[in-house]
């Protein structure tokens, strides 16, 4: 196989791997860091357990999402969580964090949120 053919095959393999990782959300997120970021930015509304009962939640309508509830989390995938955390949720008190958190921190928060779900 020529050098150019080997480079082409390697490039296709790397691109396929990257697309697979993006599609599955399998890039290594750090839920331990996500817990720290969540504690610093999300607990006031979502509570330290992620159940939507943070100190500020009493006056909110609608209430913050309960990340521990399978019912509330049904149909909420990583892309939806990323968009909500980055851009906020219109009609709610949820603000966007795209300007204050790094993308990797948002991914870490998502990993932490997923760890809160009661099975």
Instruction: Give every CB contact of residue 54 below 8 A, 6+ residues apart in sequence.
Output: 42, 43, 44, 45, 46, 47, 48, 64
Domains by residue range for the chain, with CATH: 30-116 (1.10.760.10)
State pLDDT tens for residues 98-107.
999 999 999 9
**Which has the closest alpha carbon to 104: 14, 32, 54, 15?**
32
Q: What's the confidence (pLDDT) of residue 24?
A: 45
Residue 46, pLDDT > 50, answer: yes
Angle at 89 between CA 20 and CA 97, to 5 degrees: 70
State pLDDT tens for residues 16-30.
555 555 554 556 899
Mean pLDDT of the chain: 88
Number of helices (H), then strands (E), in the chain: 6, 0
């Amino acid at each position: 196989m020529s050098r150019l053919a080997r480079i082409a095959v390697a490039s296709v393999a790397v691109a396929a791997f990257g697309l697979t990782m993006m599609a599955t959300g399998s890039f290594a997120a750090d839920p331990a860091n996500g817990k720290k970021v969540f504690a610093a930015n999300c607990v006031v509304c979502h509570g330290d357990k992620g159940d939507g009962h943070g100190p500020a939640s009493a006056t909110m309508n609608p209430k913050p999402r309960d990340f521990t509830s399978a019912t509330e989390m049904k149909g909420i995938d990583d892309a939806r969580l990323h968009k909500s955390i980055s851009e906020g949720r219109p009609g709610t008190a949820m603000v966007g964090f795209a300007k204050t958190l790094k993308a990797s921190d948002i991914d870490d928060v998502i990993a932490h949120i997923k760890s809160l779900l009661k099975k």
